[in-house]
């Protein structure tokens, strides 16, 4: 069987090869769990599989036939794509949603050979919703394919995971992401390189960073803030810490960004300039590497990493944030 998965999905060639074999052999699993980092391509693959499973053309998932078009516009009577809302990514999947879905799944498909459901970020399911779905996973009607996604299978009930074939998506190499941006999105190589490197293996991140310039602008502001902090003393740093503490969200993304910057400084210190991710900050990274000892750089990495861990476990965030900021080395860049 020929599929169009390679064109619908960004990277993940090994996973596609595997899925194509399974599709060709006619034993696609009735329950599939796709795991991987946020924006690595789980939902994109899930939707592409829904298209491949219901397509009316010989090239499965053609993207052109009535069935594929209906999936793309969200109007296929036999295909349900339940994605996390962009404005509320943590919104719970409720038991009512699962029950409504189950009523639909008990009916034979209208036009496709199967009914396909793709549920994004299933860790959002309440215990009630997860237990309700478990019944379908235990005895799925023959005409049903369920595809779940989650960043980590450890975040789902073990009983759910054990009923699914698990397909872990790995991060996509920066070179592959850059190629995708150039060929599919027609982005000039010089402009594609930075989002591809910053994406950390997640094509979806690179694409949204390209489509939404505010993402890269915010990153620039936050890196500049780090550089400013390095040049200032306690009073300024404590003031900045106050701002972070007052903000609604924990500074996880900010500290992750800083961690990436410190990694770059360490690479520069080791003479591995070509591996630097923050390409547009190469000069500042280089200066920081010259101004600091290896021990100071490693300490900055360890402290930022520890602060991130503490945020994850909700440890006293005020103290946590202040300690990190006050421990940053002093350096004028």
The torsion angles phi and psi of 237, rounded to 5 degrees, stand at -65, -40
If DSSP codes are grouped into helix, strand and coil, which group holds residue 132? Answer: helix
Nearer to Zn ion, 116 or 311 (CB): 116
Nearer to Zn ion, 53 or 84 (CB): 53
The torsion angles phi and psi of 138, rounded to 5 degrees, stand at -70, -40
Task: Report, in Å, the least distance between residue 68 CB and Zn ion.
Answer: 3
Task: Report, in Å, the least distance between residue 111 CB and Zn ion.
Answer: 12
Residue 144: name the closest of 53, 71, 63 by CA. Answer: 53
Nearer to Zn ion, 26 or 58 (CB): 58
**Do residues 115 and 145 lie in contact, with contact meaning Cβ atoms separated by under 8 Å?**
yes
Task: Report, in Å, the least distance between residue 62 CB and Zn ion.
Answer: 4
Nearer to Zn ion, 23 or 33 (CB): 23
Residues near Zn ion, by CB under 5 A: 55, 57, 62, 65, 68
Task: Report, in Å, the least distance between residue 7 CB and Zn ion.
Answer: 12
Residue 147: name the closest of 83, 93, 100, 69 by CA. Answer: 83
How far from chain centre, in Å, is Cα 70? 26
Nearer to Zn ion, 22 or 72 (CB): 72
CA–CA gap between residue 94 and residue 72 (Å, rounded): 25
Q: Which two three-digit tokens encode residue 277?
A: 């991710």
Task: Report, in Å, the least distance between residue 155 CB and Zn ion.
Answer: 33
Task: Report, in Å, the least distance between residue 109 CB and Zn ion.
Answer: 16
Q: Which two three-digit tokens encode residue 3?
A: 């599929």
All residues at 6 or more sequence positions from 133 whose CB lies less than 8 Å from its CB, including other chains: 98, 102, 125, 146, 160
**Do residues 42 and 36 lie in contact, with contact meaning Cβ atoms separated by under 8 Å?**
yes
Nearer to Zn ion, 53 or 285 (CB): 53
């Amino acid at each position: 069987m020929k599929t169009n998965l390679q064109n619908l999905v960004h990277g993940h060639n090994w996973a596609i090869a595997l899925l194509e074999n399974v599709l060709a052999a006619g034993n696609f699993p009735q329950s599939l769990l796709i795991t991987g980092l946020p924006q690595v391509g789980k939902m994109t693959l899930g939707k592409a599989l829904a298209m491949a499973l219901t397509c009316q053309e010989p090239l499965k998932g053609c993207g052109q036939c009535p069935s594929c078009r209906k999936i793309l516009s969200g109007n296929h009577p036999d295909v349900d794509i339940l994605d996390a809302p962009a404005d509320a990514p943590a919104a719970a999947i409720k038991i009512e949603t699962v029950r409504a879905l189950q009523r639909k799944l008990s009916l034979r498909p209208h036009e496709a050979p199967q009914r396909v459901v793709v549920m994004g970020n299933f860790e959002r399911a309440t215990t009630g919703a997860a237990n309700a779905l478990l019944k379908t996973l235990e005895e799925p009607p023959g005409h049903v394919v369920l595809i779940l996604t989650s960043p980590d299978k450890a975040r789902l009930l073990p009983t759910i995971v054990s009923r699914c074939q698990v397909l872990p998506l790995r991060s996509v190499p920066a070179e592959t992401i850059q190629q995708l941006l150039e060929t599919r999105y027609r982005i000039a190589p010089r402009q594609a390189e930075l989002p591809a490197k910053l994406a950390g293996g997640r094509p979806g991140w690179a694409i949204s960073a390209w489509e939404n310039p505010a993402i890269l602008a915010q990153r620039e502001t936050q890196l500049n803030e780090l550089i400013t902090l390095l040049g200032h003393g306690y009073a300024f740093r404590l003031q900045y810490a106050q701002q972070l503490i007052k903000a609604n969200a924990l500074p996880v993304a900010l500290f992750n960004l800083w961690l990436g910057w410190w990694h770059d400084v360490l690479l520069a210190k080791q003479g591995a300039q070509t591996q630097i991710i923050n390409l547009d900050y190469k000069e500042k990274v280089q200066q920081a590497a010259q101004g600091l000892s290896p021990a100071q750089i490693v300490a900055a990495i360890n402290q930022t990493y520890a602060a991130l861990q503490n945020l994850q476990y909700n440890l006293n965030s005020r103290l946590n944030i202040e300690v990190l900021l006050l421990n940053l080395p002093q350096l004028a860049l």
